[in-house]
Structure 1
């Protein structure tokens, strides 16, 4: 039998997991560094090398991704979503969301829901069109062989 221990989780990955598990109120850099037995400077450098972004950038990106998902999947008000992803100020959330996503949260919600509705309706029509195409194209190919 093997005496192998589970693989070691790299400190940068451990920190990412800690951040993701408490995104609404992420731990401080000092606390994160302490959890992985590093100095804040060492952790910042290692995290950036491993994830190719800074810890604050990583937190911001995760918050915006979660907010975007909540905008699509829930009917929560934007202020509620802002608080749920850890923002103290609605204005700061809207500015950050607009910078990260390129649209205000309300415009993003409206456009994405409209796109989803359009794709659902065209999805059914697309299936019908594909079915009709498969039904009639072979008939027209067969008729062409006998006709000309």
Structure 2
């Protein structure tokens, strides 16, 4: 996969955060097999594709929570979750706080959600 193709893929993932991405669908976009795509993605970004996607979604959601009064359920849908409860569990797992607590300014301003766990 060329650098341009990889960057284009990331641009698409970022622009369509609500899309129901899978490793397979991302690999198809990259014109690679699932395993080759996952290996290259992990080598370049330091984490598997679905980990990156989840962390990107939480980053987008965190910004929306802090910068708007949009209901949590709507933010959940905007970042690709079909239910508010599933989103809330994922958000708490990744950010260490429930979305409502985060919105009210609880805890630190946000964890570095796009860094690999080893960083």
- 1:13 paired residue among 7, 13, 38: 7
Task: Write the distance in 1 (CA, Å) between the matches of 2:95 and 2:80.
Answer: 17
Aligned to 1:88: 82
CA RMSD of aligned residues (A): 1.9
Structure 1: distance between partners of 2:105 and 2:31: 45
1:81 Cα deviation from its structure 2 partner: 0.8
- Give the gaps of 5 or more residues in structure 2: 110-119
Aligned residues: 106
Aligned equivalent of 1:65, options 59, 63, 82: 59
Q: TM-score, normalised by structure 1?
A: 0.65
**Residues 12 and 50, structure 1, Cα contact 8 Å, conserved in 2:** no
Query: What are the ranges of 5 or more consecutive residues in structure 1 without an aligned counterpart?
Result: 1-7, 116-148
Shift of 1:10: 4.8
Larger Rg: 1
More helix by share: 1
Q: State the alpha-carbon separation in 2 of the partners of residues 50 and 33 from structure 1.
A: 15
User: Which residue of structure 2 lines up, in the alignment, with residue 29 of structure 1?
Assistant: 23
For 1:26 and 1:62, locate their aligned partners in 2 and report how far apart those are by CA, in whole Å. 14
Q: 1:76 is paired with a residue of what secondary structure?
A: coil
In the superposition, relative to structure 1, how do residues 98 and 71 fare at CA in structure 2: closer, same or farther (>3 Å)? same
Q: TM-score, normalised by structure 2?
A: 0.79
Is 1:19–1:26's contact at 8 Å kept on the other side of the alignment?
no
